[in-house]
Each structure stands twice: as C-alpha cells, then as structure tokens.
Structure 1
Amino acid sequence: MVYGGGAPEISCSLAVGEEANKISTLEQYAMRAFSEALESVPLALSENSGLAPIHTLADIKSRQAKERNPRLGIDCLSSGTSDMKDQHVIETLSSKRAQIMLAVQLTKMILKIDDVRGGNEARM
C-alpha cells in the first residue's frame, strides 16, 4: 500500500529532480521532464477539487521537502494539503506501479512516431 492524494508522485518527482541535479549529461533533461510529468496527478487532483493547482502543488512540494514527509498530498475535501496517513487515503502499490509504467510505455510509443500527416495532405 502507498498513500494517495498525489503524495507518491510528488515524493518521486522531488527525488528524480534531486538526482537530475547531480548529473551533467543530457540525461538530466529527460529526468527533469519525467519529474515534471509526475506532477500532473497532483495538479489534476487539486484542479478537480477547486483549488489553485500551481499554488497547491508548490505549497505541498515545499512542505514535503522541508518536513521530509512523503505522505503529504492533496486533500480533496478540506484544506488542500494534509497528511494522507491521517486522512486514511491509500492506494495499492501494484496499481500505482501499473499507472506509471503504462504512462511511460505510452510516452515511448508516441516518441517513436516520426511523421504525422493531416487529413488534407496529399497521400503518397
């Protein structure tokens, strides 16, 4: 089990971002992009909860880093951010892993596309 509310995505985003800062090769850009992509889940949660998504994400990222509490996530019912352990918000690890793996596989498939044609273009 892992805690929900976008807490694992934020925690992983922070960890990947820290590792990206340690390397100087071109891989750092891919790592930063992956780190930012992980933030889409908490952004969507906060937006769908009627919160200011960017402000909420910035707040929770800084709190997770400062407090070293990876359980802090988006509280969709009240204040915006809180400890998901206290709120009893959990997900299965296998489900979370499958979500991330599917997103990575889809991205890799899209990146393999080297040509896109519109409907109006002449076909060869």
Structure 2
Amino acid sequence: MGGAGGKLLGLLLCLQCLTELHGVFIRFTNVTCESKDLTMSIVEYCAVTTLSKNKNSISLRYAMLKPVFRNIEKEKYISIDGLTNTEVSAKIRGVPMPKGFYALFTKWSTENITRVLTNYYFEVISP
C-alpha cells in the first residue's frame, strides 16, 4: 500500500505542476499610490516586496484622516498587506492573457470626487 500511495502522491504532484505550467502566472513589477484629497487620506506605504525568485507581494495603506461618510464611524485606514502574486495567479486561472506587461488602474471616489488612485503593474510570465 505504501508503494501505491507514493505513486499516487507523485501523480498528484505532477498534475499540480502541469496545472501551474498551463495556468496564468503573474509577477508584480510595481505599484503606485497617490492621495488626491489630502484632507481625507494620505499614503502611509506602497511597495512591492520580493519574497523569492518567483514570488513577490504588494502592500499598501492609506491612512484615513476623517470619516468617509457622515454618521458612520471613522475607519483608521484602508490597506492591502502581503497580497502575493501566487495568490492572484491562482484566482485568475483560465483567463486568457498572453505573455507581456500589464497595468490595472484603480480609483476610489466619493461624492463624485476622486480620493485615491492606485496603479498595479504586473507581468504575465506564462499564459
């Protein structure tokens, strides 16, 4: 039974490798953060961190200086901490994206006023 279990485990690992090779794999190249309304929020940090040769993460935090909406308790910050490229890659399996460099531009607005802008830059390594 030990030999059969070992072969099964080896087969499962091989299938996992093939799935990863044929899935979309991205690597973050940069992230930029900008506060457009300095009375409401400021950028505390915004960075890409290298964890290993093929793994990196993004972390960003906007400190909130006043409540976003009336009658709602004030949030101290909005943040994304330690989101890895492998976590994102696992979520976008099956999305057709050829190799290359991409950018995702995001903004957060209230009352038709842009408050913060965050731009994510990444590279698709394997489609």
TM-score (norm: length of structure 2): 0.26
**Higher share of residues assigned helix:** 1
Rg larger in structure: 2
